[in-house]
Structure 1
Amino acid sequence: METGGVSPQPSVQQPLGSGAGKAPEDDGGGGKGSVDGDATSGNPYARLVDDLRAAWLSGKTRPMEYRMAQLEALGRFLDEKKQDILDATALDMGKPPFEAEFSEILLCKNELHETLNNLSHWVKDENVDKTLVTQLDSAFIRKDPYGVVLIIAPWNYPVNLLVGPLVGAIAAGNCVIVKPSEMTKNTEKLMAEVLPSYLDKDCFAVVTGGVQETTRLLENKFDYIFYTGSPSVGRIIMTAAAQHLTPVTLELGGKNPCYVSDSCDVQNVARRVAWGRFFNAGQTCIAPDYVLCSVVMQEKLLPALRKAIDEFYGPNPQESPDFGRIVGDKQFQRVQELMRSGRVVIGGQTVEKERYIAPTVLVDLQPSDPIMQEEIFGPILPFVIVANVDEAIDFINSRERPLVVYAFSSDDKVVNQVLERTSSGGFCGNDTLMHVTLTSLPFGGIGSSGHGMYHGKFTFDTFTHHRGCLHRSMGREALNALRYPPYSPQKLGIVRAASEVKRKGACTLL
């Protein structure tokens, strides 16, 4: 398993007390908790996993009151440690306070409040339709927790992408191990040292460390694994999960296309695209990865982008308090190397000692250029020329399915055409990033950009086993006798009539 960070020895800390970004090769994780492990298995995390499983089997996490109390405690963590979160993310990657509070705290609190507001309804048994033969019985879906689940978070949004899934895992009644990214060391330390004072030590634990520790952690049997990171490491996670037939959600990345039609408000497009691309210094899995447009639109959009960048960050973005930095040296070098593709028309300045890369726009690119082969994960926006919307759609469909497709046009028919003729994890018309702010929308990938979904109720559902249940009476055996041998055509006719689901409003097409 590759990671952009170091691989420290496991840190000896207690599990949580009572009361991972994803550039193509930069993921990893793990080690904290019961590092002495189990004498028979030799795995340093076996005892920790066993202890959590015992707590889950005891039923401690199932009562509604318990789940609500833990979620409320998580909310207190976000409120009381807000400044600590802002400080840690600033130290780790120069994240501006506005961006950190919006993406790491506000969006997490939205998830939390949506869950607290609705959990009592979500957990209820769901009654289902019945056939004639089961009309007197009880048929329902029981919302069961999976058990002991593992959440591996990335470095680019180190609080949001850990706490967001954790909200749903707690709400569903699971015991949880969370693994923050070792790439953002200050945020990792905050999670390991401060979060323990808010949650129940019997049911929740933090594991810290690097590649070696995560590899050993994944040797254990979990009941569900939720991973956010790169496709390459996603394959490793899935392989490890397959050894125990453990279900997984993989939130991966991809090259998100952004089609801009010839009919649009150019300056509005420029501001919205620039914000989405350069937010968090471009280290966002749903950032627009490249622009598809005509030569005519490119000539209009380039000066509009230059103006938007100047409005956002001033004449020298390096001095702007509102523009972040690349998370690490390895990531800086990788993004800097990608800038060799095409021709720089905006930005291009770099300062290695600060891990600063200016908001940059590239033109004269070929689909085969290195920057068009991998997710950029930095403040670079390439332009690819297409003749029209049909050519743009063909270009999108010729590549792996992305995490999101963006389309800009003053003509709704054009936006809908891109929506209907492409496939992606999500879609946003005439803006960037904003679809992810809605707890009412599922968020997730498709194909190489991942599978599974979360946010709001979708997070609760992800960490919930929907258990199909039928409860019948011990009486009325005469009715049941119709299905027992010896069989007869008469019995079959009665059983068929009582059991079949009839089609409604059927008609014959001529």
Structure 2
Amino acid sequence: MFDVPTKALESTVVSVIPTLPQSIVDTQEVLNIMRRQDQFFASGMTLSEEFRRAQLFKLRKAVEKHEGNLIQAFAKDLRKSATEAYFAEIGVTLAEIRHALQHLRGWMKPERSATPMALAPARSEIRREPLGRCLILSPWNYPLLLNITPLVAALAAGNVVVLKPSELAPAMSAAIREMLQDTFPPELVTVLEGGVEMSRMLLAERWDLICFTGGTEVGRSVAQAAAKHLTPCILELGGKSPCLVSRTADLSVAARRIVWGKFLNAGQTCLAPDYILADESIHDALVATLREEILLRFGSEPLNHAQLPRIINQRHFLRLQKMLTPGSVIHGGRSDAEALLIEPTLVAAEDRSAAAMREEIFGPILPILKVKNMADAKTFVKAGEKPLALYLFTADRSEQEDILGSISFGGGCINDVLVHAGNRGLPFGGVGESGMGAYHGRHGFEAFSHRKAIVRNNTLIDVPLRYGPWGRFKDKAFRLFLN
């Protein structure tokens, strides 16, 4: 139903500002893009529901049209199967767009707010307005999902966007650039490819919002750059997300879900369980069940499994290899350096000094630590930084409430892993070292918007109380109304 308005809006976009060159070669080109995006945003074109809805429809059609190219790029960069590429990225992205289209009108409506009696007869409301020119810096591990999901939020909120995909997934970066270049005028959405120098160039400039997904150390640099211009940030970082397995857990279900969540995308998932804290009474049984599950899903020769994703590059492959210290491997451990493959691997760890416990793993290696009980597991987690996610497998409701109420973490699941990020009604984000801000669904719309407070008064009634000069009567009246 928006085909005609979409075409009309496209022609208006082109007439407002000349088309930009597609080859970005130096700082001046980037500055030109930013200037023209500012001009386009100032034109007010992005403010209407009709315009925003039209862009979301175009984005949905673009993802559907380019699905084949995207799947090929996933295979080239990460060796992802077509099925995994669809259910973990393409399908989730399309669902995010559909959700935004379904709820956009409600999100944009002014929100009534209570007005204190002292301000009567005024009425109060909150209006959302777009922030302006936004920068999205995205990683390589889920290159479509983590580029397009924040873009959906930015467009729904009425912003203009510069998007920089990761250079570590070059095929996906090129596919995303081609898809968005064919879909949007660069005054609205521009994709800039490049490495560290491009990121530094972009971060040196002023933005109205920066959304970054990646590692904690780079996140610090992004926050420092943003602070120079007082630019707000959404930082989706990572950390060591624990998985606690209680003596009351259903071990077969726990093992099945942990293996799925940990080894999806070869463990290169910021929300993946980074290590297991297992109650000593079920530790050995859990390890045995995890082994059985890995064999069931990947076979006895996982390196020959056609659907085993690869490690993104040699640097990360070598980093992961150093975590496999002699005597620590209790299952798996084999690798193929030429193909950048590491089979799903379980390792034993005593404490945080173990090689696999010193940093976020981001690969198919899963340390398992034995604890006396969940109280000890809680103490262990709280001694570290606040994680992006926490997972608890237990049938004990009081144990669930104790862990949820006493440990700070970004988000998580009881008796499952990862799936909380698939609920668009829940905010996705970290806390402390694992990030700041959150998005997905309405939370993304809010993150890319400014909440503007408005009081509507009339001129028919003008209570003289607030006007000077002051006296004893007005003093008593103020105390009455303001307490």
Q: Which interval holds the TM-score relative to the shorter structure?
A: over 0.9
Contact kept? 2:128, 2:449, Cα under 8 Å: yes
Structure 1 range deviating more: 130-139 or 389-398: 130-139
* Aligned 1:438-457 pairs, distance under 5 A: 438-457=423-442
Q: Are 2:71 and 1:67 aligned? A: no
Q: Provide the residue aligned with 1:9 in structure 2.
A: none
SS class of match (1:361): strand
Pick the aligned partner of 1:126 from 100, 111, 114.
111
- Mapped partners of 2:468, 2:426: distance in 1: 50
Q: Provide the residue aligned with 1:22 in structure 2.
A: none
Q: Are 2:444 and 1:490 aligned? A: no
Q: Provide the residue aligned with 1:318 in structure 2.
A: 303
Aligned residues: 465
CA RMSD, aligned part only?
1.7
SS class of match (1:61): helix
Q: Provide the residue aligned with 2:158 in structure 1.
A: 173
Q: Are 2:173 and 1:188 aligned? A: yes
Q: Are 2:117 and 1:111 aligned? A: no
- Any idea what the Cα deviations from partners look like across 1:227-262, whole Å, max 9, x if unmatched? 000110001000110111000010000101111111
Q: Provide the residue aligned with 2:146 in structure 1.
A: 161
Contact kept? 1:407, 1:430, Cα under 8 Å: yes
- Mapped partners of 2:288, 2:361: distance in 1: 22
SS class of match (1:264): coil
* Aligned 1:375-390 pairs, distance under 5 A: 375-390=360-375
TM-score, scaled to structure 2: 0.93
* Aligned 1:22-421 pairs, distance under 5 A: 34-38=24-28, 44-340=29-325, 343-421=328-406
Q: Provide the residue aligned with 1:466 in structure 2.
A: 451
- Mapped partners of 1:437, 1:198: distance in 2: 26
Contact kept? 2:322, 2:355, Cα under 8 Å: no
* One-letter amino acid of the structure 2 residue matched with residue 442 of structure 1: P
Rate the CA distance shift 1:450–1:194 in 2: closer, same or farther, 3 A: same
Structure 1 range deviating more: 223-232 or 104-113: 104-113
Rate the CA distance shift 1:61–1:35 in 2: closer, same or farther, 3 A: farther
- Any idea what the Cα deviations from partners look like across 1:389-439, whole Å, max 9, x if unmatched? 110000000000000111111222222222122110012111111111111
Identity of aligned residues (%): 37
Displacement of 1:76 in angstroms is 0.7
Rate the CA distance shift 1:368–1:35 in 2: closer, same or farther, 3 A: same
Q: Which runs of 5+ in 2 are unaligned?
A: 1-12, 15-21
- Mapped partners of 1:157, 1:409: distance in 2: 30
* One-letter amino acid of the structure 2 residue matched with residue 438 of structure 1: N
Higher relative contact order (CA 8 A, sep 6+): 1
* One-letter amino acid of the structure 2 residue matched with residue 264 of structure 1: A
Displacement of 1:475 in angstroms is 4.6
- Any idea what the Cα deviations from partners look like across 1:307-345, whole Å, max 9, x if unmatched? 111111111111222221101111111111112276101
* One-letter amino acid of the structure 2 residue matched with residue 315 of structure 1: S
Q: Which runs of 5+ in 1 are unaligned?
A: 1-16, 19-31, 39-43, 503-510
Q: Which has the higher helix share?
A: 2
- Any idea what the Cα deviations from partners look like across 1:103-156, whole Å, max 9, x if unmatched? 111111121111100100100111111122433223211110001011111100
